[in-house]
Amino acid sequence: MKIQFLGTAASEGIPNPFCKCEICEKTRVQKGKDVRTRSSVIIDDLMQIDFAPEFSYQVMRENIDVTKIKDLIFTHTHPDHFNVGDLYSRMINFGFNITHPLYIYGNDVAINGCLHVLPEYSSERFVFNLIVPFQTVTTSSGYRITPLLANHAKWEFCYIYLIEKCGKTILYGHDSGYFPELTWQWLKDSGIQPDLAVFECTYGYRQNDRTDNHMSIETVLAAQKRMLSENIFHEQTQLITSHHSHSCGFMHDELVEIFKPYKIEVAYDGLIKMV
């Protein structure tokens, strides 16, 4: 499988347009990998996870033909992940020469939110699928996806995802703090060992290895340690961090140095990884 990072920022983006902190000011000058748009990924050019406010810019920047995407999966409905208003451009009489519907998967809040924005949708363009925790479904493009509970918002089921296809597995692990015990237990009992995992790292150092809502540097390391000790990760599992915030206090190269001893890679906008 191929995973392509469209965006790797937390909710404010980097630089935050309303911020004059050291990280944002440096990024305005240095640009490059320190510029981060809101988080989203595409897998194999067929499946997208989350829909960022910068979506149209992201796909132009990466020269991606999004009409090929068949599945769209939502982790939760915070606005940096759930920019569903732009989906109206895929409606009949707005988008032309589209040959298949977009299959959308998410919790009840996400599905109802889409239906509110697209009240007169055609099944030629959209098919909506409500998914529930720990129940595996097969998407229209042949991926087995299992939504696992995240440690994030309290008013909806927020999901991380185990994604399987052709003998390869990706664990997409944000937005979430240290995972709930039900999720740890499911991962351990499943016997499935991801080939690649994406953890968020919104916070910097917090002197707490089990943060809620989002992960800190310490939480990422603690989660990696538990994954290895409980044989959820195998020795070759690639771990990548994303969803970075300016408030963490580190530039991209500094995060790279922090995680290098643990063989953890730091994502940047446009990064492509193969598993």
What confidence tens digit (pLDDT) does each residue in 12-50 have? Answer: 999 999 999 999 999 999 999 999 999 999 999 999 999
How far apart, in whole angstroms, are the C-alpha atoms of residue 244 and residue 175? 11
Tell me what the mean pLDDT of segment 120-147 comes to.
98
Tell me what the mean pLDDT of segment 139-146 comes to.
98
pLDDT in the model for residue 89:
97
Q: Give the model's confidence band at 96: pLDDT under 50 very low, under 70 low, under 90 confident, else very high.
A: very high
What confidence tens digit (pLDDT) does each residue in 193-241 have? Answer: 999 999 999 999 999 999 999 999 999 999 999 999 999 999 999 999 9
pTM over 0.85: yes
What confidence tens digit (pLDDT) does each residue in 57-78 have? Answer: 999 999 999 999 999 999 999 9
How far apart, in whole angstroms, are the C-alpha atoms of residue 228 and residue 242? 20
Maximum Cα interatomic distance, the chain, rounded to a whole number of Å: 54
For 223, the domain range is 2-272
Tell me what the mean pLDDT of segment 168-181 comes to.
98
Collect contacts of 204-210 with beta carbons under 8 A, ≥24 apart: 204/247, 204/248, 204/249, 204/250, 209/178, 210/177, 210/178
Return the exposure string of 1-19: e unless at least 16 CB atoms fall within 10 Å of the residue's CB, then b.
bebbbbbbbbbbbbbbeeb
Stretch (H or E) spanning 173? strand 168-173
pLDDT in the model for residue 273:
98
pLDDT in the model for residue 166:
96
Q: How many domains does the chain have?
A: 1
State how far the alpha carbon of 186 is from the alpha carbons of 12, 140, 147, 160, 171, in Å.
Answer: 32, 24, 11, 12, 13
pLDDT in the model for residue 53:
98
pLDDT in the model for residue 223:
98
How far apart, in whole angstroms, are the C-alpha atoms of residue 160 and residue 168? 17
- HSE at residue 272, side-chain half, CA atoms within 13 A, is 7
DSSP state of 128: E
Using left for φ > 0, alpha for ψ between -120 and 50, and beta otherwise, residue 226 falls in: alpha
Average pLDDT, the chain: 98
pLDDT in the model for residue 165:
98
Say which CATH number the domain at 176 has. Answer: 3.60.15.10
